[in-house]
Amino acid sequence: MLAKIKQEWFGNVRGDVLAGIVVALALIPEAIAFSIIAGVDPMVGLYASFCIAVVIAILGGRPGMISGATGAMALLMVTLVADHGLQYLLAATILTGILQILFGVFKLAAVMKFVPRSVLVGFVNALAILIFMSQIEHFHGENWIMYAMVGLTLAIIYILPRFVKSVPAPLVALVVVTGAVIYMGFDMRTVGDLGNLTQQLPVFLIPEIPLNFETLQIIFPYALALAMVGILESLLTANIVDDMTDTESDKNKESRGQGYANVTTGFFGGMAGCAMIGQSVINVKSGGTGRLSSLVAGVFLMFLIIALGNVVVQIPMAALVGVMIMVSIGTFDWSSALNIHKVPKTDAAVMLTTVVTVVVTHDLSKGVFAGVLLSAIFFAAKISKVKVTEQLEQNGAKRNYYVEGQIFFASVTDFVNKIDYTENTLDVVEIDLTRAHLWDDSAIGALDKIEGKFENHGTTVVYTGLNSESQELKERIGGLSKASGH
């Protein structure tokens, strides 16, 4: 146990420290930009990334994964901030954390397997589209300089990594573009125009909200959506890090860790966050696989902000918009769009439904819900197909039906209708259920119904080949319905 803790923390010190520094540099532009998306001061996102990264380093279930303020979460809180303000957001953040802790305590991570892949793909695509759309408003009433600076930012972000890989390109872009704007004396909107940046450590605060039922009514729907989306993205990221490092991780512990992190960040003036796919990939690629990298990332981020806060406020919005466009391009799963005609139609429909629902409602959790619902319907439709083949025997005195499929409430109508009851010359009808499975009351009811229909012609119905589970069900329920029905 102690050896494991030691390994997780100090098994890879050099790699973790270097990767942590790279991640901290990459986190700054995103934390600021996500704050602006949410409609709060940049400090709220920066405090969140600091608190969450530090708490997750200690309590998370997936070493090597990076968590902080994220776009998915920021997008969910826009209306809460606009309608009720920051204090309600902080309260909602704490409640989000509590819900996530409960999620982990009751070991609900396994529920994730019911969220199909096409919903997850739809989720990330919708997220990318929303981040992109949220950047468009920054172009309103701007001149060519804005476009040029966004272009310059993107050019640096995409061209630089081809030559220099050790420094995160978005940060270089931020520095260069900020320098250029200040040097040329362009009058552009900056981060400072959109919010305050205080160069101090976060302090413990209890959100100033009335503690009553009305407050709960306001924040609960937001907290629930935040909790679900946060867990969804965190566990998805954990799976990616699992695969990248070829190791396993405790998903329930990670859920609890995300919860503790959000409770903490809420009390220290930060917004709710979750694991970040892009940053985690950067971390592992830079050599960070232990708990130390997340801690270093958080602490170094805070150090930079305290040391360089007065520079940060001068970052032009154009540079941040460029970074966010990069984030949205990187988040979008392009191959899912390019191969949409190749995947099964139902998968494509589920993915598109998720995307459209999110883009229309601006709520990722609603999109996920719609996607899961639709795929459940598709699944039920697919599984409720019953195949029946027939064969005549004994000179037309006996007919055999071979049934293939799942017999349950959704498939019984189809099943019963596939049998021909008009043949009145038969002595015996044998229904072979070797390749079928009876699941519920309706299945047994269907068998009784078939028997009943043939009884009119004096035809005996024999059921054969029931598997033991179906046989048991038939005896248990069948006996009852017979006794009461006849």
Partner 1 sequence: MYKRILLATDGSDHSLRSTEHAIHLAKCSEGTIDVVFVIDGDTSKKDVLRHANKIEIEKRRREKIQPVEERLEQSDVPHEVHMLHGEPGPSIVKFANEGEYDCTIIGSRGLNQLQTLVLGSVSHKVAKRVESPVMIVK
- According to DSSP, residue 115 is labeled S
Under rule CB under 8 A, residue 285 binds partner 1: yes
CB proximity list for 298: less than 8 A, separation 6 or greater? 24, 49, 50, 51, 52, 53, 54, 57, 68
CB proximity list for 69: less than 8 A, separation 6 or greater? 30, 31, 34, 35, 44, 45, 46, 48, 49, 52, 270, 271, 273
Under rule CB under 8 A, residue 243 binds partner 1: yes
Under rule CB under 8 A, residue 277 binds partner 1: yes
Under rule CB under 8 A, residue 236 binds partner 1: yes
In the complex, the smallest distance separating the C-beta of residue 282 from partner 1, rounded to whole angstroms, is 9
Asked if 464 and 474 touch (Cβ cutoff 8 Å), the reply is: no
Stretch that binds partner 1, among 240-248, 379-387, 448-456, 467-475 (CB under 8 A): 240-248
- According to DSSP, residue 475 is labeled I
Under rule CB under 8 A, residue 26 binds partner 1: no
Taking the least distance from each CB to partner 1, the nearer of 375 and 459 is: 375
In the complex, the smallest distance separating the C-beta of residue 351 from partner 1, rounded to whole angstroms, is 11
Under rule CB under 8 A, residue 18 binds partner 1: no
Stretch that binds partner 1, among 68-76, 95-103, 167-175, 276-284 (CB under 8 A): 276-284
In the complex, the smallest distance separating the C-beta of residue 121 from partner 1, rounded to whole angstroms, is 6
Q: Restricting to residues 311-340, which ones interact with partner 1 according to CB under 8 A? A: 333, 335-336
Under rule CB under 8 A, residue 129 binds partner 1: no
Under rule CB under 8 A, residue 250 binds partner 1: no
In the complex, the smallest distance separating the C-beta of residue 17 from partner 1, rounded to whole angstroms, is 19
Under rule CB under 8 A, residue 117 binds partner 1: yes
Using CB under 8 A, pick the residue from 172, 182, 281, 359 that binds partner 1.
281
In the complex, the smallest distance separating the C-beta of residue 253 from partner 1, rounded to whole angstroms, is 19
Under rule CB under 8 A, residue 167 binds partner 1: no
In the complex, the smallest distance separating the C-beta of residue 338 from partner 1, rounded to whole angstroms, is 12
Using CB under 8 A, pick the residue from 124, 433, 443, 444 that binds partner 1.
124
Q: Quote the strand ranges of 27-97, DSSP E.
A: 67-68
Under rule CB under 8 A, residue 471 binds partner 1: no
Taking the least distance from each CB to partner 1, the nearer of 192 and 330 is: 330
Under rule CB under 8 A, residue 156 binds partner 1: no
In the complex, the smallest distance separating the C-beta of residue 30 from partner 1, rounded to whole angstroms, is 17
Taking the least distance from each CB to partner 1, the nearer of 355 and 386 is: 355
Using CB under 8 A, pick the residue from 198, 239, 400, 481 that binds partner 1.
239
C-alpha–C-alpha distance, residues 88 and 293, integer Å: 32
Stretch that binds partner 1, among 116-124, 259-267, 320-328, 445-453 (CB under 8 A): 116-124
Under rule CB under 8 A, residue 263 binds partner 1: no
Q: Restricting to residues 40-59, which ones interact with partner 1 according to CB under 8 A? A: none
Q: How many residues bind partner 1 (CB under 8 A)?
A: 21
DSSP 409-447: TTTHHHHHHTS-----S-SEEEEEEEEEEE-SHHHHHHH
Per-position b or e across 88-122, b if 16+ CB within 10 A of its CB? bbbbbbbbbbbbbbebbeeeebeebeebbebbbbb
Tokens of 107: 């070991």
In the complex, the smallest distance separating the C-beta of residue 315 from partner 1, rounded to whole angstroms, is 28
C-alpha–C-alpha distance, residues 287 and 12, integer Å: 9
C-alpha–C-alpha distance, residues 469 and 446, integer Å: 17
Using CB under 8 A, pick the residue from 4, 14, 113, 341 that binds partner 1.
113
In the complex, the smallest distance separating the C-beta of residue 113 from partner 1, rounded to whole angstroms, is 7
Under rule CB under 8 A, residue 476 binds partner 1: no
> In the structure, how many helices (H) and strands (E) does the chain have?
21, 6
C-alpha–C-alpha distance, residues 110 and 95, integer Å: 22
In the complex, the smallest distance separating the C-beta of residue 25 from partner 1, rounded to whole angstroms, is 18
In the complex, the smallest distance separating the C-beta of residue 199 from partner 1, rounded to whole angstroms, is 35
Under rule CB under 8 A, residue 245 binds partner 1: yes
DSSP 70-88: -HHHHHHHHHHHHHH-HHH
Under rule CB under 8 A, residue 14 binds partner 1: no
Asked if 339 and 121 touch (Cβ cutoff 8 Å), the reply is: no
Nearest to 288 by CA among 27, 48, 70, 21: 21
C-alpha–C-alpha distance, residues 20 and 297, integer Å: 4
Asked if 330 and 197 touch (Cβ cutoff 8 Å), the reply is: no
Nearest to 235 by CA among 114, 346, 337: 114
In the complex, the smallest distance separating the C-beta of residue 242 from partner 1, rounded to whole angstroms, is 8
Please give the torsion angle defined by the CA atoms of residues 464, 468, 469 and 471, in that order, rounded to the nearest 10 degrees. Answer: 40
Using CB under 8 A, pick the residue from 26, 86, 92, 121 that binds partner 1.
121
Asked if 364 and 358 touch (Cβ cutoff 8 Å), the reply is: yes
Nearest to 474 by CA among 431, 428, 429: 431
- According to DSSP, residue 316 is labeled B
Taking the least distance from each CB to partner 1, the nearer of 195 and 330 is: 330
List of residues contacting partner 1 (CB under 8 A) = 113, 116-117, 120-121, 124, 162, 236, 239-240, 243-246, 277, 281, 284-285, 333, 335-336
